[in-house]
Amino acid sequence: MSDIDLKAYLFGELAEEERRRVAAQLEKDPALRAEYARLEQTQAMLGFVQDEELPRRIAFVSDKVFEPSWWQRFLASGPQLGFASAALLALAMVGHGWLSRPVAPAMQAAKFDEAVVRQVVAAEVSQRMNDVLRQVSDVPNSDVKTAQLIAVAMKQAEKRAELDRAADRLTIEENFNLLRRLISRDQVASYQRPAGER
Amino acid sequence: MIFREVEDRDLILQTRKGKVEAYNLLISRWEKRIYNYVLRLVRNREDALDLTQDVFMKAYQNMNKLDDVERFGPWLFRIAHNETFSLLRRHRPDRVELNEAIAEDPGSSPFESGGGRLLPLELSVAVTAALTRLKPEQRETVMLKVFEGFKFEEIAEILETPVSTIKSRLYTAFDLLKDVLAPAGKQLGKTV
């Protein structure tokens, strides 16, 4: 009887073969059966212990303090972490490609000096004035009317030149702004790169 | 469309994503078991309720540390065990509120006073009193085995104790209970 684990049999903890062996022993041995009956009775009595209801239910409200933060949820998710790593790598590759691309010719125009542009415009205006004066001097019988026409033509030329200068100034300002943005972006990119790559 | 019962594992996974409603449903499934387990150890309803809340709070905060969602039950009971014994270590062991009239005299049998047939409620009180005569670790092992139905290995995991020790505690406790409850057993035969 000593090698029979009746309690393990009672609690259903025996393997199938061992369980059959104990069952066969119980069939044969009345004393063992009586002992087993007492154990069963004890277990049955323990079943009379009643559970109590909780005085009040437990429930949590959705409170940001107790919720896992976004990075805790993120770190807990393997697939999300992998996807984010891949996305970050792709972004880094695109960024590197963008920063190291050849500068477009249109943007090189931004390097023109304003003084040079003014010089070009003044030369153009001067040339047009000379053309007008040449045409006027070619007229054999110049009179007051002709002189007035010349004056009007000169004013128109000056106005056109002024408009051209204004347009050129705008173009130059735009180019300078573009140039400033490019320089700023390069600076930011150089700060973000590891020290060895700068 | 296929309907199936929402399993604990679904609720655990939802909880991990921050769904408090899923966790509340999980609590509703386990709170009574945890509360009664703790109550039988501390024998004080107020403490038991506070501890039960602490257990579920701790479980929520550590849900990501649960390696195997299928082992949620033993894991939750392990938290309950740790929280309860942490409280018991801080407090004194002599605070008896539940069934104190019967438990006060450990020499007497809980079945000697009445003499008549025991009703189920009386039997419940008497068995509870018999349980109080066990050492705390024996009582806890009996509760985890008989009331909660855990396997020896699971109890060993919950209590962080070798299986051989668990079996020893349980068998000793059962022999004691068998002797203490024997008189009631005869009356039980008449009652049932």
The rounded distance, in Å, linking the Cα atoms of B55 and B26 is: 13
B120 and B71 in a single domain? The answer is: no
pLDDT of residue B107: 45
DSSP state of A1: -
Name the amino acid, one letter, at A135: Q
Reported as a pLDDT band with limits 50, 70 and 90, residue A19 is very high
pTM: 0.57
Q: Which residues contact A150 (CB under 8 A, 6 or more apart)?
A: A132, A133, A136
pLDDT of residue A30: 94
pLDDT of residue A11: 93
Question: A54 lies in a domain?
Answer: no
pLDDT tens digits along A105-133: 555 555 557 777 788 888 888 888 888 77
A32 and A19 in a single domain? The answer is: yes
Question: B175 lies in a domain?
Answer: yes
Window 37-96 of B: residues touching A by CB (8 A cutoff) are: 39, 45, 49, 52-53, 56-57, 60-61, 64
Please report how many Cα atoms fall inside a 13 Å half-sphere around the Cα of residue B133, on the Cβ side: 23
pLDDT of residue B105: 43
Percent of chain B predicted with pLDDT > 70: 78
Count: domains in chain B: 2
A10 and A25 in a single domain? The answer is: yes
Count: domains in chain A: 3
Residue contact A66–B61, C-beta within 8 A? yes
Question: A15 lies in a domain?
Answer: yes
A118 and A157 in a single domain? The answer is: yes
Question: B1 lies in a domain?
Answer: no
Q: Which of A6, A9, A10, A51 to mutate to test the interface with B (most CBs of B within 10 A)?
A: A51
Taking alpha carbons only, the member of B73, B74, B127, B137 closest to residue B103 is B127
Residue contact A42–B181, C-beta within 8 A? yes
pLDDT over threshold 80, residue A100: no
The rounded distance, in Å, linking the Cα atoms of B130 and B139 is: 10
Give me the domain span that covers residue A42.
Answer: 6-46
CATH number for the domain including B55?
Answer: 1.10.1740.10
Q: Which residues contact B39 (CB under 8 A, 6 or more apart)?
A: A52, B45, B48, B98
Q: For residues B173 and B130, is the Cβ–Cβ distance under 8 A?
A: no
- Higher pLDDT: B3 or A179? It is A179
- How many Cβ pairs within 8 Å bridge chains A and B? 100
Taking alpha carbons only, the member of B142, B71, B132 closest to residue B105 is B132
Question: A154 lies in a domain?
Answer: yes
pLDDT of residue A34: 92
B73, B98, B123 - which closes a domain: B98
**Residue B98 phi/psi, 5° resolution?**
-85, 125
Residue contact B184–A44, C-beta within 8 A? no
pLDDT tens digits along A71-82: 666 666 666 667
Tokens representing residue A45 in the block:
């009595």
B86 and B111 in a single domain? The answer is: no
pLDDT over threshold 80, residue B63: yes
Residue contact A60–B60, C-beta within 8 A? yes
Q: For residues B17 and A73, is the Cβ–Cβ distance under 8 A?
A: yes
A65 and A113 in a single domain? The answer is: no
pLDDT tens digits along A35-75: 999 999 999 989 888 888 998 888 887 655 555 666 666 66
Reported as a pLDDT band with limits 50, 70 and 90, residue B3 is low
A79 and A28 in a single domain? The answer is: no
pLDDT of residue B117: 57
Neighbours of B37 (CB within 10 A): 24
Neighbours of B77 (CB within 10 A): 26
The rounded distance, in Å, linking the Cα atoms of A87 and A72 is: 19
Residue contact A59–B188, C-beta within 8 A? no
pLDDT of residue A84: 76
Percent of chain A predicted with pLDDT > 70: 74
Rounded to a whole number of angstroms, the distance from the CA of A87 to the nearest CA of chain B is: 22
The rounded distance, in Å, linking the Cα atoms of B161 and B155 is: 8
pLDDT over threshold 90, residue B79: yes
Q: Mean of the pLDDT values across residues B40-62?
A: 93
Spell out which residues of chain A touch residue B127, defining contact as CB-CB under 8 Å. 45-46, 48-49
Residue contact A54–B151, C-beta within 8 A? no
Question: A53 lies in a domain?
Answer: no
- Higher pLDDT: B52 or A90? It is B52
Q: What is the ipTM of this complex?
A: 0.75
Give the best-scoring range by mean pLDDT among A80-89, B4-13, B54-63, B101-110.
B54-63
B46 and B117 in a single domain? The answer is: no
pLDDT of residue A149: 78
pLDDT tens digits along B99-154: 443 344 444 454 544 445 556 677 787 888 888 889 989 999 999 999 999 999 99
Q: For residues A115 and A123, is the Cβ–Cβ distance under 8 A?
A: no
A52 to chain B, any CB pair closer than 8 A? The answer is yes
Rounded to a whole number of angstroms, the distance from the CA of A17 to the nearest CA of chain B is: 18
A141 and A71 in a single domain? The answer is: no
Provide the H-helix boundaries in B133-191.
136-142, 152-159, 163-191
Give me the domain span that covers residue B187.
Answer: 107-192
State the DSSP string of A9-66.
HHTT-S-HHHHHHHHHHHHH-HHHHHHHHHHHHHHHHHTTPPPPPPSS-------TTT
Rounded to a whole number of angstroms, the distance from the CA of B101 to the nearest CA of chain A is: 17
Rounded to a whole number of angstroms, the distance from the CA of A32 to the nearest CA of chain B is: 15
pLDDT tens digits along A175-189: 888 888 888 888 888
Longest dimension (CA), chain A: 154
The rounded distance, in Å, linking the Cα atoms of A6 and A119 is: 112
3-state class percentages of chain B: helix first, strand second, coil last, to nearest 5: 75, 0, 25
State chain B's mean pLDDT as an integer: 82
Longest dimension (CA), chain B: 63
Rounded to a whole number of angstroms, the distance from the CA of B108 to the nearest CA of chain A is: 18
B71 and B116 in a single domain? The answer is: no
Nearest to A76 among B16, B33, B123 (CB): B16
